[in-house]
Structure 1
Amino acid sequence: MAAFEKIFIVDDDELFLIVTKSIMEDEDFANKIYNFEDGNKALRQLQSIEKKDLPEVLFLDINMPMMDGWEFMSALEELEIDNNFNIYITSSSINPLDLKAAETNPFIKGFISKPIDPGKLEKIIKACKI
């Protein structure tokens, strides 16, 4: 049985999406995995679905060309979506400012450095199921 019913991955890196989705499927992480290559598409999807259909976990890249992760977070807050889902920043960035911004944002559950591996997924499951 999968740990989660539905998750969103918002990331413009096609290779990251392919590898991450494969690992998640191997680990039975989620029944449904939705990929969005930019934040605008993910926001539109979040706006169009009912609260019961929101993802349980959303993985968000910081560095994307059309809308970066921080712009996504600002737009999400403005939409006032009842986001009881867990948002994890995923990035290869080790910029201390990004780490601090993730730690101080009340809507972000954690910061995960890329690549994602089974151990990191297990930590997310434990953190979200508490």
Structure 2
Amino acid sequence: MIKQILLIDDDPIVNFIHTKVVQHNFPGISVKLFTNGLQALEHIRNHPTYCYLIFLDLNMPIMDGWAFLDAISSEEKETNLQIHIVTSSLDPSDKMRAKSNVNVVSYMVKPLKSSDLDPLIFTE
């Protein structure tokens, strides 16, 4: 199975930093950047057999992180997803809402650090 890491965030500086951190922790795994949830959702729909490690921002144009989570939850196909929220939001209600979503594994505050990823295992 093909493994792929998806960084879904509309901020180019954050994407640059997160790409470096993710590539350091998961060398050799393809990293794809998307600036909104709709682009990422279409990619997943076009490659449903891939195994995805997803780092998802909540506040983005076109399709935000919440809409992405709703859309991915309503998909009929079984897709291997491990979704981690990565946001600047410190709002406790956002954290609670994220934790209540069965597809969300963790909630992290930007920017990602290598130590944030150390405990993560990306398996099929």
Give 1 or 2: higher helix fraction. 1
Query: Structure 2 length normalisation: TM-score?
Result: 0.89
Tell me how far apart the structure 1 counterparts of residues 10 and 29 of structure 2 sit (CA, whole Å): 22
1:54 corresponding residue in structure 2: 51
Structure 1 counterpart of 2:51, one-letter code: L
SS for the counterpart of 2:118 is helix
1:101 corresponding residue in structure 2: 97
Per-residue deviation, residues 48-71 of structure 1 (Å, max 9, x unmatched): 1141x232x111100112111111
Query: Structure 1 length normalisation: TM-score?
Result: 0.85
The reply on whether 1:6 has 2:19 as its aligned counterpart is no
2:87 corresponding residue in structure 1: 91
Tell me how far apart the structure 2 counterparts of residues 108 and 99 of structure 1 sit (CA, whole Å): 10
Per-residue deviation, residues 98-126 of structure 1 (Å, max 9, x unmatched): 1001111111111011110110010223x
Consecutive unaligned residues in structure 2, runs of 5 or more: none
The reply on whether 1:40 has 2:34 as its aligned counterpart is no
User: Identity of aligned pairs, percent?
Assistant: 28
Structure 2 counterpart of 1:114, one-letter code: K
Q: RMSD value over aligned CA atoms? A: 1.8
- Paired positions, count: 122
> Is the 2:3–2:51 contact (alpha carbons within 8 Å) kept by the matching residues of 1?
no
Deviating beyond 4 angstroms after TM superposition, the runs of 4 or more aligned structure 1 residues are none
